Amino acid sequence: MTTHTGPHPTRRLILQGAASVALIGLGNLPLTPARAAANDKYPEEAFKLKNEADAIKALYGKTAEPSDKIKLDAPEIAENGGVVPISVTTTLDKVTSISFFVADNPNALAASYKIPDGTIPAVANRLKMAKTSNVTAIVEADGKLYSATKEVKVTVGGCGG
């Protein structure tokens, strides 16, 4: 058995390296295929990331540009951060997905919706917000990413349950 222990440290190192790259560098790698395909599977890693920019990259593999064709509807002030009604509609064509991010939540990505052909690109849902934060809606349309952001003031955080 002892003769076989030789290659193991190297292999472990390689595996560790691969794992950390997967954790940190998702989306930065030219090797990662188009993220649209990943929409079929639950994007576990993207939901674990704390930072909004990282989560967008992990989910879509690219960055978004602001667009006035997205209408993000959120309250100016949310009295209860546990239930913040937020909806988005867009006049963009060929929308394939819509995602919601809350920048200052423990994990920025809140929800990601897949919009198949024939489904209207509009979603309403209710999010938890830990504190006053920017809320961003990302719309993927015709392979490009567009965003709209609005600040929501929270008077009572959503962490108290």
Among 128, 139, 145, 152, binds other proteins (CB under 8 A): 128
In this structure, how many other beta carbons lie within 10 angstroms of the beta carbon of residue 22?
12
- φ, ψ of residue 94 to 5 degrees: the values are 55, 50
SS (H, E, C) 47-111: HHCCCHHHHHHHHHCCCCEECCCEEEECCCEECCCCCEEEEEEECCCCEEEEEEEECCCCCCEEE
Least distance from other proteins to the Cβ atom of residue 136, Å: 12
In this structure, how many other beta carbons lie within 10 angstroms of the beta carbon of residue 155?
11
Note whether 43 binds other proteins by CB under 8 A.
Answer: yes
Note whether 27 binds other proteins by CB under 8 A.
Answer: no
Among 31, 37, 77, 120, binds other proteins (CB under 8 A): 120
DSSP 8-state secondary structure symbol assigned to residue 155: S
Note whether 12 binds other proteins by CB under 8 A.
Answer: no
Note whether 91 binds other proteins by CB under 8 A.
Answer: no
Note whether 157 binds other proteins by CB under 8 A.
Answer: no
Note whether 23 binds other proteins by CB under 8 A.
Answer: no
Nearest residue (CB) to other proteins, 32 versus 113: 113
Nearest residue (CB) to other proteins, 12 versus 79: 79
C-alpha to C-alpha distance for 56 and 12, rounded to whole angstroms: 30
Residues forming beta bridges with residue 145, ordered by sequence position? 140
Amino acid, res. 97: S
Note whether 129 binds other proteins by CB under 8 A.
Answer: yes
Note whether 20 binds other proteins by CB under 8 A.
Answer: no
Residues forming beta bridges with residue 123, ordered by sequence position? 88
Least distance from other proteins to the Cβ atom of residue 111, Å: 5
Q: Which residues make up the interface to other proteins (CB under 8 A)?
A: 39, 42-43, 47, 82-84, 87, 102, 105-107, 109-116, 118-120, 122-129, 158-161
